[in-house]
Amino acid sequence: MPTLLLKSQTTAWIEELPRHLPDLKVRHYPDIGDPAGIDYALVWLPPPGLLKSLPNLKVIFSLGAGVDHILADPELPAGIPIVRISDPHQCHLMSEYALLAVLYFHRAMPAILADQLQAKWTRRWPLYTPETAVGVLGLGEIGQDIARKLCAIGFPVHGWSRSPKRVDGITCHHGQAGLRAMLPLCRYIICVLPLTEATQGIIDAAFLQALPPGAFVINMGRGGHVVDKDLLAALDIGHIAGAFLDVFDVEPLPPAHPYWQHPKVVVTPHCAGDVVPRTAASAIVANIRRHLGGDKLHNVYQPDRGY
């Protein structure tokens, strides 16, 4: 009987996974039982050494679109495929968050909320939307969904990816030259990149300087994408007008971090998108079935590209 170890606070997986594969036994960490009996692991932030302690582990499933939380384990066993999640509802949540952040700045909500505190009736209008471009960094499933939805509400949308992509209605750029060409055009920049060696610290002083004055930064990728001191400096000199940040180098964001009190920063607690058992379980089980049947797994992490 195939057995899966779940490391998540979301207990709905325990019922949801066997609904799609009744034979599947789910053990909930830390109740591992006999480590030799575990075939699959479905994990978020596995404690270092946990995966290595499972001698018959065959596939590691990430409970996130990113796999950096698994790769951070210095004792990660080599040679076991790691599968990234693909959850339509997570995509939907991420897009909602991106729209919320763009529209919050676009419709001058920071100033309107400040006016309200003083009972000030000041009508504020956005820039002309069809001429106000948004750039999306990362054109995987999530980035494409965000780009399409922004496009649908009238923004010109640019997308940037490591390798060339085509997405209907979106101006696609790639590589370093593509990034240099795209940034000066974008009033809003949204990061949904995976965290890799190539993307670590991508939002640094040079990147921010390349954006037009008054641009806004929205980070829903990983904290490691942003060089915090560079973003704070760009906010303080006014080149960047605001930041909407969901992810941080250290989470929870420490209480003394300057982002918390910064008047131009919105901090949210890594809640842009969650993986929802009801919609994600079937894709995980489909991969388990492929593995049981000796077929090729879908959405496997590729070390050469880092995601």
What residues are annotated to the active site?
222, 270
Q: Which is nearer to ligand GLV, 16 or 87 (CB)?
A: 87
Q: Can residue 65 be called a binding residue for ligand GLV (CB under 6 A)?
A: yes
User: Residue 274's closest CA among 9, 3, 5?
Assistant: 9
Q: Which of 6, 17, 64, 259 binds ligand GLV (CB under 6 A)?
A: 64
**Number of helices and strands in the chain (H, E):** 10, 12
Which residues share a beta bridge with 157?
Answer: 134
Helix (H) or strand (E) holding 244: strand 240-245
Helix-helix angle 88-106:141-152, to 10 degrees: 40
Q: Which is nearer to ligand GLV, 109 or 283 (CB)?
A: 283
Per CB under 6 A, the segment of 28-36, 63-71, 181-189, 198-206 that binds ligand GLV is 63-71
φ/ψ of 103, rounded to 5, equals -70, -30
Q: Which is nearer to ligand GLV, 66 or 135 (CB)?
A: 66
Q: Can residue 138 be called a binding residue for ligand GLV (CB under 6 A)?
A: no
Helix (H) or strand (E) holding 279: helix 277-292
Q: Can residue 60 be called a binding residue for ligand GLV (CB under 6 A)?
A: no
The dihedral region occupied by 239, where left means phi > 0, alpha psi between -120 and 50, and beta the remainder, is alpha
Touching ligand GLV, residues 99-118 (CB under 6 A): none
The closest residue (CB) to ligand GLV is 64
Per CB under 6 A, the segment of 61-69, 166-174, 205-213, 259-267 that binds ligand GLV is 61-69
Residues 303/297, Cβ–Cβ less than 8 Å: no
The dihedral region occupied by 214, where left means phi > 0, alpha psi between -120 and 50, and beta the remainder, is left
Q: Which of 13, 46, 66, 242 binds ligand GLV (CB under 6 A)?
A: 66
Q: How far is the CB of 179 from ligand GLV (least distance, A)?
A: 22
Per CB under 6 A, the segment of 64-72, 110-118, 133-141, 299-307 that binds ligand GLV is 64-72
**Where does this chain bind ligand GLV (CB under 6 A)?**
64-66
